């Protein structure tokens, strides 16, 4: 099944619904970062939740999520754009914990003490950050708590990452339902009833249900219309130029020392693990460029 995100709105405009399948992009993220089962489940949920939030933005806007807790994973950062791209990484990709009630302990991996930071990129010049304490470490609950506290928008999220016995991703996806005041109480009851009776998301995706199928079920008794549908993919915006700027940020003395001691530089993108190589001649050219810049130090 193709990774895709769907969005619907009730005819009265008081309920939004977003659902997505992220199986392929989560698989790609886990492959790039060589993660273990705990990190796969946690990173997959964060990527999926971020994709859902990005669907609520506008063209070329994006949103970043940073989970920092007292669990062994330590930190997860993901980014997603309205246009359908996502990327992310986990600081400790091989951290593991015993199963909890037969399931991967994502909350234990993230930790229950820590912070969730959310940064909306509205334009090149406009960023809107917000930080709240972690609610549960389950990721979906934390995102819902952020929406209710920071944006005063009651929201329900469902996220799933289901692993095969060999640790590969069998299914990943989720949904987000938001109500805007004044919400129709009858419609709210209908949606809440469907959410409570919904089978596990992993079962639905493994059975071949699409995000559109899931939204149709949740809005079964609420008149609605589709307003958004986009393919999703794991994609990184890193480039050779950006990595040059990272080296320049070391300053003249730092770059000079690197050239003299190492004779080269290797820079890895944290999000996609792509390696950028800079020869001694490349470093020398960067030093010349810095010398010509009136702001160089």
Q: The sheet that has 85-90: what strands, in order across it?
A: 127-133, 114-121, 62-69, 75-81, 85-90, 233-234
Q: What are 86's two structure tokens?
A: 């996502």
DSSP 13: S
Per-residue pLDDT tens, the chain, 297 aa: give them: 689 999 999 999 999 999 999 999 999 999 999 999 999 999 999 999 999 999 999 988 999 999 999 999 999 999 999 999 999 999 999 999 999 999 999 999 999 999 999 999 998 788 999 999 999 999 999 999 999 998 888 899 999 999 999 999 999 999 999 998 888 899 999 999 999 999 999 999 999 999 999 999 999 999 999 998 999 999 998 888 889 888 888 888 888 888 888 888 888 888 988 889 998 888 888 888 887 765 544
At the fourth CATH level, the homologous superfamily of domain 240-292 is: HSP33 redox switch-like (3.90.1280.10)
Give residue-wise pLDDT tens across range 162-221. 999 999 999 999 999 999 888 889 999 999 999 999 999 999 999 999 999 999 999 999
81 Cβ neighbours under 8 A, 6+ residues apart: 54, 57, 60, 61, 62, 63
Separation of CA 260 from chain center? 39
Helices (H), the chain: 23-33, 37-54, 106-110, 140-150, 185-197, 201-206, 211-218, 240-248, 251-261, 280-292
Q: The sheet that has 4-10: what strands, in order across it?
A: 155-163, 169-179, 15-21, 4-10, 224-231
Give residue-wise pLDDT tens across range 124-137. 788 999 999 999 99
At the fourth CATH level, the homologous superfamily of domain 4-234 is: Hsp33 domain (3.55.30.10)
Under a CB-based contact definition with an 8 Å cutoff, are residues 33 and 273 in contact? yes
Span(s) in the chain for CATH 3.55.30.10:
4-234
Q: What are 12's two structure tokens?
A: 């009265």
Span(s) in the chain for CATH 3.90.1280.10:
240-292
């Amino acid at each position: 099944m193709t990774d895709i995100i769907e969005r619907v709105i009730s005819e009265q405009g008081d309920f939004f619904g977003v659902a997505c399948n992220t199986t392929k992009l989560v698989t790609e993220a886990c492959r790039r970062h060589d993660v273990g089962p705990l990190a796969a489940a946690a990173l997959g949920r964060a990527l999926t939740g971020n994709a859902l939030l990005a669907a609520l933005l506008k063209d070329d806007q994006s949103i970043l999520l940073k989970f920092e807790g007292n669990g062994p994973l330590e930190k997860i950062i993901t980014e997603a754009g309205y246009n359908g791209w996502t990327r992310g990484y986990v600081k400790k990709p091989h951290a593991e914990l015993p199963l909890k009630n037969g399931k991967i302990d994502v909350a234990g991996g993230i930790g229950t003490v820590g912070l969730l930071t959310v940064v909306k990129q509205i334009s090149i010049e406009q960023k809107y950050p917000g930080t709240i304490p972690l609610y549960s470490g389950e990721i979906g609950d934390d995102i819902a708590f952020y929406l209710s506290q920071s944006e005063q928008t009651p929201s329900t999220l469902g996220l799933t990452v289901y692993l095969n016995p060999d640790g590969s991703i069998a299914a990943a996806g989720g949904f987000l339902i938001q109500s805007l005041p004044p919400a129709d109480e009858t419609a709210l009851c209908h949606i809440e009833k469907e959410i409570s009776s919904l089978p596990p998301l992993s079962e639905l995706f493994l059975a071949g249900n699409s995000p559109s199928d899931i939204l149709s079920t949740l809005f079964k008794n609420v008149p609605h219309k589709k307003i958004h549908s986009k393919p999703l993919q794991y994609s990184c915006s890193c480039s050779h130029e950006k990595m040059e700027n990272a080296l320049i940020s070391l300053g003249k003395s730092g770059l000079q020392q690197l050239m003299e001691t190492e004779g080269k530089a290797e820079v890895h993108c944290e999000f996609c693990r792509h390696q950028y190589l800079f020869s001694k001649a490349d470093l020398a050219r960067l030093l010349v460029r810095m010398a010509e810049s009136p702001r160089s130090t």
